[in-house]
């Protein structure tokens, strides 16, 4: 008695005569599980085929798991670019790591691709602007600001503002604010203050270096900290700006706030 397969693909001991083989049409058990699948070679083939399918499904499952794990990691540790043209971008990268993000230095417009957010560090806004304008980086940044969170510190705030004074200069116009450059005086007038802010956790150290002053803000701008009545830490949706240098203090609350903003935008 010939043993029949109890389920397709399971190889059994079947010996068929040549005539029997010829009589039975070759059918694909995957397409037609009910049909006769008695061809010995074909069953062997089916076994092999099933093994390959199972292998492929396992690989797909594994890839899916890896992608999910990657997405979860990326959500918890967003990829944040730091404009690394001039200024203290290295301290920002370090601060971002400490705040739970994965920083990446950006020097070309192409470097913006795939980022979850971006930091525009302090430095000399005119120098940074000149570089941006030479490489059509400015337009790429403008486009980026329209869809991803961005955090400007000091010169970075000048680049983000709607209007720049003293002297006037071109800006991205994504922060509804008017900014006056070097408003607190010269380098020698740079100062470190500690003051209460809207952030939980007590007073915050704020390092001001030839800082700009935010002299006007639009209705959509939330002020989180002030100096002499003028806003020094603000946010407007996915745009954040600090006229001081949070990356130069040990306190990571400001960077953490930005990382949280980026993570929240990433989930949307």
Active site residues: 154, 245, 247
Token reading at 169: 């200069």
Cα 142 from chain centre: 17
* Stretch touching ligand GLN by CB under 6 A, among 7-15, 89-97, 119-127, 220-228: 119-127
Cβ nearer to ligand GLN, comparing 37 with 255: 255
Cβ nearer to ligand GLN, comparing 117 with 212: 212
Cα distances from 9 to residues 12, 15, 17, 161, in angstroms, run: 9, 16, 20, 68
Q: Does 227 bind ligand GLN (CB under 6 A)?
A: no
CA distance 174 to 180: 16
CA distance 113 to 129: 20
Binding residues for ligand GLN, rule CB under 6 A, total 12
Say if residue 144 is exposed, middle or buried (CB neighbours under 10 Å; 0-12, 13-18, 19+). buried
In the shown chain, the binding pattern of residues 140 to 179 toward ligand GLN, with x for contact by CB under 6 A and - for none, equals --------------xx--x---------------------
What's the closest the beta carbon of residue 204 comes to ligand GLN, in angstroms? 17
What's the closest the beta carbon of residue 79 comes to ligand GLN, in angstroms? 24
CA distance 47 to 10: 6
Which residues make up the interface to ligand GLN (CB under 6 A)?
122-125, 154-155, 158, 181-182, 209-210, 212
């Amino acid at each position: 008695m010939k043993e029949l397969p109890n389920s397709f693909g399971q190889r059994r001991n079947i010996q068929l005569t040549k005539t029997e083989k010829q009589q039975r049409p070759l059918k694909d058990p995957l397409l037609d599980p009910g049909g006769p699948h008695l061809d010995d070679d074909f069953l062997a083939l089916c076994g092999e085929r099933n093994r390959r399918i199972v292998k492929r499904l396992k690989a797909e499952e594994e890839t899916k798991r890896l992608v999910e794990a990657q997405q979860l990691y990326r959500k918890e540790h967003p990829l944040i670019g730091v404009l690394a043209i001039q200024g203290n971008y290295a301290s920002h990268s370090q601060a971002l790591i400490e705040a739970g993000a994965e920083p990446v230095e950006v020097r070309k417009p192409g470097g913006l691709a795939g980022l979850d957010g971006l930091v525009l560090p302090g430095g000399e806004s005119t120098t940074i602007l000149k570089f941006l304008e030479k490489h059509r980086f400015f337009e790429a940044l403008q486009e980026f600001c329209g869809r991803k969170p961005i955090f400007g510190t000091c010169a970075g705030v000048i680049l983000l503002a709607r209007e720049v004074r003293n002297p006037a200069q071109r800006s991205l116009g994504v922060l509804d604010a008017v900014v006056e450059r070097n408003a607190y005086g010269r380098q020698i007038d740079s100062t470190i203050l500690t003051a209460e802010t809207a952030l939980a956790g007590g007073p915050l150290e704020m390092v001001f270096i030839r800082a700009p002053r935010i002299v006007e803000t639009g209705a959509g701008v939330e002020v989180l900290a002030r100096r002499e009545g003028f806003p020094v830490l603000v946010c407007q949706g996915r745009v954040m700006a600090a006229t001081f240098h949070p990356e130069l203090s040990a306190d990571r609350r400001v960077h953490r706030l930005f990382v949280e903003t980026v993570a929240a935008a990433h989930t949307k």
